[in-house]
Amino acid sequence: MKARISVPTGAVVYDLPLRHRFRGLDRRQGMVWETPAGWTEWSPFPEYGPAEAAVWLRAAAELAERGWPAPVRTVVPVNVTIPAVGPDVACRLAAESGCRTAKVKVAERGQSLGDDLARVEAVRAALGPAGRLRVDANGAWDVDTAERALRALNRFDLEYAEQPCATVPELAELRRRVARHGILIAADESIRRSGDPEKVVAAAAADIAILKVQPLGGIWRCLELAERLGLPVVVSSALESSIGLAAGLALAAALPELPYACGLNTARLLAADVGEPLVATGGALPARPGWQAASAREGAASTSQNGVLTAAPYVPDPARLASVQAAPALAKAWRQRLAQAQFELFRDS
Ligand SMILES: [Mg+2]
3-state SS string over 37-80? CEEEEECCCCCCCHHHHHHHHHHHHHHHHCCCCCCCCCEEEECE
In a domain, 41, yes or no: no
In a domain, 212, yes or no: yes
CA-based nearest residue to 54, from 206, 216, 176, 181: 216
User: Would you say 282 and 98 are in contact if contact means Cβ atoms under 8 Å apart?
Assistant: yes
In a domain, 189, yes or no: yes
In a domain, 322, yes or no: no
Output the CA 163–ligand 1 centroid distance in Å: 6
Identify the domain containing residue 196 by its residue range: 75-298
Residue 205: what pLDDT?
Answer: 98
What digits encode the pLDDT tens for the residues 281-315?
999 998 875 544 444 444 333 443 343 455 689 99
Instruction: Please indicate whether residue 2 is annotated as part of the active site.
Output: no
In a domain, 124, yes or no: yes
Residue 4: what pLDDT?
Answer: 73
In a domain, 329, yes or no: no
Q: Name the strand (E) or helix (H) holding 132.
A: strand 132-136
236 CB contacts (<8 Å, ≥6 apart)?
188, 210, 211, 212, 248, 262, 263, 264
Strands 38-42 and 25-35: antiparallel
Instruction: Please indicate whether residue 103 is annotated as part of the active site.
Output: no
In a domain, 5, yes or no: no
**Mutual angle of helices 328-348 and 50-65, in 10-degree steps:** 80
Strands 25-35 and 12-22: antiparallel
Residue 193: what pLDDT?
Answer: 86
Residue 339: what pLDDT?
Answer: 96
In a domain, 69, yes or no: no
For residue 114, the domain's CATH number is 3.20.20.120
Output the CA 128–ligand 1 centroid distance in Å: 23
Output the CA 162–ligand 1 centroid distance in Å: 6
The total number of structural domains in the chain stands at 1
Output the CA 138–ligand 1 centroid distance in Å: 6
CA-based nearest residue to 162, from 192, 137, 193: 137
pLDDT beneath 50, residues of the chain: 1, 291-308
